[in-house]
Structure 1
Amino acid sequence: MNYTLIATSTFGLEKVVANELKDLGYEDLTIENGRVTFEGDEMDIVTCNMWLRTADRVLIKMAEFKAESFEELFQGTLAVQWGDIIPITGFMHVVGKSVKSKLYSVPDCQSIVKKAVIEAMKRKYRRDLFSEDGAEYKIEVAILKDIVTLTLDTSGSGLHKRGYRELAGEAPMKETLAAAMVLLSKWEPSRILADPLCGSGTIAIEAAMIGRNIAPGLNRSFVSEQWDIIPQDLWEDIRKFARNSINNKDFKILASDINGRLIKTAKENAEKAGVAENIFFQKMDVREFSSKKKYGFIITNPPYGERIGEGKEVEVLYKDMGEVFRNLNEWSYFVITSHPEFEKLFGEKSHKNRKLYNGRIQCYYYQYFGPTPPKDKKPEFFKIV
Structure 2
Amino acid sequence: MTQGKDFEIFLATAPGLEPVLCAEVRGKGFKQTKPVPGGVVFKGGWPEVWRANLWIRGAGRVLARIDAFRVLHLAQLDGRARRVPWGSVLRPDIPFRVEASCTGSRIYHSGAAAERIETAIRETLGAPQAPEAEIVVMARIEHDVCTISLDTSGELLHKRGHKEAVNRAPMRETMASLFLQQCGYDGSEPMLDPMCGSGTFVIEAAEIAARLNPGRSRHFAFEQLATFDADAWQRMRAVKSARVPAARCYGSDRDAGAIAMSRANAERAGVTGHTEFRHCAISDILPPAGPPGLVIVNPPYGTRIGDRATLFPLYRALGQVLRQRFAGWRVGIVTGEPALAQATALPFLPPGAPVPHGGLRVTLFRTAPLA
TM-score (norm 1): 0.87
* Structure 1: tracts of 5 or more residues without a match: 122-128, 373-385
In the aligned structure 2, how far is the partner of 1:265 from the partner of 1:228? 39
**C-alpha contact 1:303 1:314 (8 A) present in aligned 2:** yes
The Cα offsets for residues 37-82 of structure 1, whole Å up to 9 and x where unpaired, read as: 2221221121111001000111110222343422333234233211
3-state SS in 2 of match to 1:365: strand
* Structure 2: tracts of 5 or more residues without a match: none
Structure 1 residue 236: Cα displacement? 0.6
Structure 1 residue 288: Cα displacement? 2.1
Structure 1 residue 227: Cα displacement? 2.5
Could you tell me which residue of structure 2 aligns to residue 37 of structure 1? 41
Match among 6, 15, 25 for residue 11 of structure 1:
15
The Cα offsets for residues 131-159 of structure 1, whole Å up to 9 and x where unpaired, read as: 569x9531011233443221011111111
For 2:167, the aligned partner's letter is: G
In the aligned structure 1, how far is the partner of 2:294 from the partner of 2:96? 47
Match among 160, 168, 177 for residue 162 of structure 1:
160
Could you tell me which residue of structure 2 aligns to residue 176 of structure 1? 174
In the aligned structure 1, how far is the partner of 2:189 from the partner of 2:115? 54
Could you tell me which residue of structure 1 aligns to residue 313 of structure 2? 316
Could you tell me which residue of structure 1 aligns to residue 368 of structure 2? 369
* Higher mean C-alpha displacement, 69-78 vs 14-23: 69-78
* Higher mean C-alpha displacement, 276-285 vs 84-93: 84-93
Structure 1 residue 349: Cα displacement? 4.7
3-state SS in 2 of match to 1:341: helix
Could you tell me which residue of structure 1 aligns to residue 108 of structure 2? 104
Match among 301, 305, 318 for residue 302 of structure 2:
305
The Cα offsets for residues 76-127 of structure 1, whole Å up to 9 and x where unpaired, read as: 4233211211122232211123344443332222112212333443xxxxxx
**C-alpha contact 1:250 1:278 (8 A) present in aligned 2:** no
User: CA 1:348–1:101 in structure 2 vs 1: closer, same or farther (change >3 Å)?
Assistant: farther
3-state SS in 1 of match to 2:361: strand
Aligned residues: 362
3-state SS in 1 of match to 2:122: helix
* Higher mean C-alpha displacement, 278-287 vs 336-345: 336-345
User: CA 1:45–1:186 in structure 2 vs 1: closer, same or farther (change >3 Å)?
Assistant: same
Structure 1 residue 247: Cα displacement? 0.9
User: CA 1:138–1:240 in structure 2 vs 1: closer, same or farther (change >3 Å)?
Assistant: same
User: CA 1:307–1:364 in structure 2 vs 1: closer, same or farther (change >3 Å)?
Assistant: closer
Match among 256, 259, 267 for residue 255 of structure 2:
259
In the aligned structure 2, how far is the partner of 1:142 from the partner of 1:336? 32
In the aligned structure 2, how far is the partner of 1:187 from the partner of 1:26? 20
After the TM superposition, which segments of 4 or more aligned residues of structure 1 sit over 4 Å from their partners?
Answer: 129-133
Cα RMSD (Å): 2.2
User: CA 1:149–1:203 in structure 2 vs 1: closer, same or farther (change >3 Å)?
Assistant: same
Could you tell me which residue of structure 2 aligns to residue 54 of structure 1? 58
The Cα offsets for residues 254-288 of structure 1, whole Å up to 9 and x where unpaired, read as: 10011111111111000000001111101111122
**C-alpha contact 1:89 1:132 (8 A) present in aligned 2:** no
For 2:90, the aligned partner's letter is: I
